[in-house]
Amino acid sequence: MSRKLFMYLEQKETSEGECKLSFRLAYIFSYNLFQFCGHTWILANTIARFLTFGQDALADTFYSVGFMMGLCQLLSILELFHIADGIEKARLLPRFVQVMEKNFLLIMVIMLEEIQSKPVVCAQLFLWNVLDLLRYPHELLCVMDTPSIPMLWTRYTLYIPLYILSVATEGVTIYQALLYVEPTAPNASSLNSTVSTQVHRPFLLMVYLPVLALGERGHCDRLATAEGETSPPGEMEQEDETEMTP
């Protein structure tokens, strides 16, 4: 009797573990699929508007794709919980910096309507979407246990120059935003609180620039880690033997 009870409890724990595992897989698959579809729609809409209207499309491109872009970037905060929960294998601090800097920059663009029609903003959205479209299809294939070596190579080869261009574009966007938030000369009767409030906004934007370099450093470290994890076993053994040889 006790043996049957033990087998029943063991089967119940196994079924609960499989149910929990299947739910996690379904969730992470749905998340990556939504991000892939969202960024595909944004990129297709941006390209279609540019081919149809030319440079005139720069005036209202952000109004057309801003909501979907904001939704995708807002949901990207969930990736921090994915890493903390162990669903995704990545470093938490570099991902935190990258997610927060994107959301901060997007909020700044939403608040400053004067720069929404700038060409640099459209270039920024284009680079963000291309980078994410290099990433999420690979994540989907990994969830389905069918990773693609050509897609992995494409992701980590094109990601480096595109990410550097993206960081440079973010710096230009910050520089142009500073022109619209520079504090004006205060009047003699102005309160100190008003002056401090005016000075804080451009100061925060200038502090954001070193964060871009920190995010790029963390991204390069993550690429190095991923390259080491995906290197063939034979190469790793040769490297170990070389290190052990005096």
Q: What is the pLDDT of residue 176?
A: 84
Q: What is the pLDDT of residue 34?
A: 95
Q: pLDDT tens digits for 67-103?
A: 999 999 999 999 999 988 888 888 888 888 888 888 9
Q: What is the pLDDT of residue 129?
A: 93
Q: Is the pTM of this model over 0.85?
A: no
Q: What is the pLDDT of residue 44?
A: 94
Q: What is the pLDDT of residue 117?
A: 85
Q: What is the pLDDT of residue 53?
A: 85
The residue ranges of the chain whose pLDDT is under 50 are 4-6, 8-9, 12-13, 15-17, 19, 184-199, 221, 224-246
Active-site residue set: 163, 170
- Identify the CA nearest to 171 among candidates 206, 138, 125: 206
Q: What is the pLDDT of residue 238?
A: 41
Q: What is the pLDDT of residue 76?
A: 93
- A 10 A CB-CB count for 245 gives 6
> What one-letter code names the amino acid at 6?
F
59-to-14, 46, 110, 216 alpha-carbon distances in Å? 57, 12, 14, 30
- Would you list the DSSP string of 143-167? HTT---HHHHHHHHHHHHHHHHHHH
